[in-house]
Amino acid sequence: MDFSTSNEESELSQAQTELYKHVYNFVGSMALKSAMELGIADAIHSHGKPITLLELATVLNLHPSKIGVLHRLLRLLTHNGLFARTTVPGIEGAEEETAYGLTPPSKLLVKSNSTCLAPIVKGALHSSSLDMWGSSKKWLTEDKEDLTLFESATGESFWEFLNKETESDTLSMFQEAMAADSNMFKLALKEGMHVFEGLTSLVDVAGGRGGISKLIHEAFPDIKCTVFDQPQVVASLSGDENLNFVAGDMFMSIPPADAVLLKWVLHDWNDEQSLKILKNCKEAISGRGKDGKVIIIEILIDETSDDRELTELKLKYDLVLLSMFNGKEREKKEWEELIYGAGFSSYKITPICGIKSLIEVFP
């Protein structure tokens, strides 16, 4: 036997399998999107126990001809860990039947849960996020440094697209996605409670509908929180004595406070724009002297310490931000360049909630 040829054939087969895995990764994402749109997780949750295929199809009002399709959809999603498969007793002594239950990831799709991330799935897999990739070759060969893939594909920036009156539903979808992510902030708040201790005032920059500020206010009722965002975002929102909404432009100035919170903000912007934001943050906390600080919640890319799967997720986030906003996820060295470039003297990084890091920046 020619072992060399045998080894080459084995390597070729493995390479083909690995390549096809990458090619068809999108099918898993689309299956997840379908499950979210059908409300499969909600149906199982409402059922209160694992549900059989026929019961699920009935609850979802699916045509009997689609039961086989539902089975194959669930087969993939179960294999991927999004749902769990078990057996339940048959009716009146019949054979056991296969039933489907929730797993920790699919529990995050249940709309009645406070930690529901279905809006994230809806937004991330929206056609506006996917269709642009058909223009990737055109984008990569264009001699326009600041042009995003989204702009190359559509002729307008993502922010322009969101703020058009004709796309009000899309803007609402984007805000709902950000609000859903903010609900997960409870975990970050629990892990990083210490960063808010001793503060009397805080500005939540690009704080949207104020989900994070409300959580901070619940934990620290004496902190006066200001949600600072674009006029079209906060115009219809009202607060109280310790939680108010202010319209403005973070590239121009930021209201003064003991601390400034930037959650999922700087990764939307390139280094030059991020420097402007950070310098305005430094000015905003100048009245507190050395006791002021900026609290950043972002991703820190660390290919040395993170495992392969976590690194891959962070690198995917980076490409999303590059293609949509010309933003970026940053490594430690890049964060240092931004922080010191904006005139700050020191910082402290604490990993939180798996993918995120809490970065305290001091004047």
Q: Which residues are known to be catalytic?
A: 267
Helix segments in 254-307, DSSP class H: 271-284
With 0-12 / 13-18 / 19 or more C-beta atoms within 10 angstroms meaning exposed / middle / buried, residue 188 is buried
Distance of CA 300 to the CA centre of its chain: 14
Residues pairing with 348 in the sheet = 360
d(CA 196, CA 225): 11
Q: Cα–chain-centroid distance for residue 85?
A: 28
Q: Hunting for tokens 């820190």 — which residue is that?
A: 300
List the beta bridge partners of residue 259.
202, 293
| Residue 153 near residue 135, CB atoms below 8 Å | yes
Q: Report residue 356 as tokens.
A: 């995120």
d(CA 225, CA 242): 6
What is the C-alpha separation between 183 and 175, in angstroms, rounded? Answer: 12
Q: What's the rounded Cα separation, in Å, for the pair 114 and 119?
A: 12
